[in-house]
Amino acid sequence: MTQDEVLDALVAHLKDETGAVIREKRQASEMRALAQVFGAVHLGQPNLPSANDFMRRFTTTLGPVVYPSLELATSPMRHLVYVHEFAHVKQFWDAPITFPVLYLSDKEYRAGKEAQAIHSQLEVYHWLTGKIPEKLTDLPRGLAYGYAFSEVELLFAQRLLEVGMTMLVNGVYSTEVGIIAEKWLNTKHPELYHACSY
């Protein structure tokens, strides 16, 4: 199997383990409607994506349903994006009533959940490559566009990631999706441990 085929199989395994459903974004009427909302709000909030950006660049998860962005299929990072989104699906299934309400109404809660999803990505990235990002300050900055987080919320996300990276440097995987991925990779493809390129 090629590296891409193994990672596709990992994505399929994580999808099944987290109870995720993948639905084509451009075919989903709810995504087209949400894009129109983003388009209207974007005029007054430049930190939010335009309707076109939302459809083209932002993979979105609502409950257990992942809507891949139009660009995701050709992205070399697509497997890690799915890891991130499956972390959100797991968060939803852990608290199907409170998660959506708090995620939409409490920016600190949302920043924490985004940090956890990024942490999941970094655990899989670390298992595959043996690397961790040198500058964690850049990771939550990506959250500034699309989530309208304040500096305090961005710093909160950064500090959560710093704690997670301290564990990761010591070989400890601590997110549920990261642990599921680690177990599957160790069992099915141990030869890829720290041997992949991204």
In contact, 125 and 175? CB cutoff 8 Å: no
Q: What is the token pair recorded at 63?
A: 């409950």
The H or E element spanning position 17 is helix 3-18
Amino acid, res. 77: M
In a domain, 35, yes or no: no
Q: What was the pLDDT predicted at 144?
A: 66
In a domain, 52, yes or no: no
Distance (Å, rounded) from C-alpha 87 to C-alpha 122? 12
In a domain, 133, yes or no: yes
Q: What is the token pair recorded at 191?
A: 């030869």
In contact, 67 and 61? CB cutoff 8 Å: yes
Alpha carbon 43 to its chain centroid, in Å, reads 26
In a domain, 36, yes or no: no
In a domain, 116, yes or no: yes
For the chain of 198 residues, list the mean pLDDT of each consecutive stretch of 10. 95 98 96 90 72 92 97 93 98 98 94 95 95 69 72 90 90 96 98 91
Q: What was the pLDDT predicted at 151?
A: 86
Full domain range(s) for residue 11: 3-20+76-192
The total number of structural domains in the chain stands at 1
Q: What was the pLDDT predicted at 50?
A: 86
Phi and psi dihedrals of 61, rounded to 5? -125, 130
In a domain, 61, yes or no: no
Q: What was the pLDDT predicted at 192?
A: 95
